[in-house]
């Protein structure tokens, strides 16, 4: 008899000590967390293995100027409209820009949507100006624009965090 065990192959890579953000410097739009001074945050250089049915947490982000996503997108050095289905992936899935400007399929709430990867949700660093004084991302995040949440038919009051599955498009 042959059993397949899905082991957690992605272990934490370290800890990062939170620093207090300067006054007014942490953007809390979309209920974003600000780093807490002295709190230790887990960091990851990897993400769970990608399959045709990769389990993840969908979060919400703004990719426009002044949004909680911070600066311009890493893939193309541009901002992106909230009306475009775009995402940032955790460091391991972002894979040194290998998924940049490629599309992924996101399945959640009984629907699916195709979204373009434009940025990294950094799982290795945070709590600094580059990361808008927010903690490092978890290693299983698909950080999505409002357009993705709308396409999945999620009521606006429920936007924030949701279990989803995603896969690379062919």
Q: With contact defined as beta carbons under 8 Å apart, do 34 and 28 qualify?
A: yes
Residue in this structure with the two tokens 């038919």, named with its chain if needed: 153
Closest residue by Cα to residue 150 from 60, 79, 68, 88: 60
For the chain, give every domain's residue range. 12-21+28-168
Confidence (pLDDT) at 21:
85
For range 74-79, the mean pLDDT:
96
pTM beyond 0.75: yes
CATH topology of domain 12-21+28-168: Barwin-like endoglucanases (2.40.40)
Closest residue by Cα to residue 90 from 129, 128, 155, 42: 42
For range 11-19, the mean pLDDT:
93
Confidence (pLDDT) at 5:
44
Confidence (pLDDT) at 3:
46
Give the CA count within 13 Å in the CB-facing half-sphere of 109: 17
88-122 pLDDT per residue, tens: 999 999 999 999 999 999 999 999 999 999 999 99
């Amino acid at each position: 008899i042959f059993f397949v065990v899905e082991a957690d192959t992605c272990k934490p890579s370290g800890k990062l000590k939170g620093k207090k953000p300067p006054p007014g410097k942490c953007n809390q739009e979309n209920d974003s967390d600000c780093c807490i001074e002295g709190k230790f945050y887990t960091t990851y250089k990897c993400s769970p293995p990608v399959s045709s049915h990769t389990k993840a947490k969908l979060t919400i982000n703004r990719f426009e100027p002044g949004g909680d996503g911070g600066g311009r997108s890493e893939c193309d050095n541009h901002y992106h409209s909230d009306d475009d289905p775009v995402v940032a992936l955790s460091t391991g899935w972002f894979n040194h820009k290998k998924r940049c400007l490629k599309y992924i399929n996101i399945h959640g709430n009984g629907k699916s949507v195709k979204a373009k990867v434009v940025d990294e949700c950094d799982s290795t660093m945070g709590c600094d100006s580059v990361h808008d004084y927010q903690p490092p991302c978890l290693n299983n995040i698909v950080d999505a624009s409002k357009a993705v949440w709308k396409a999945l038919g999620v009521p606006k009051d429920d936007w924030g965090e949701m279990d989803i599955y995603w896969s690379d498009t062919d």
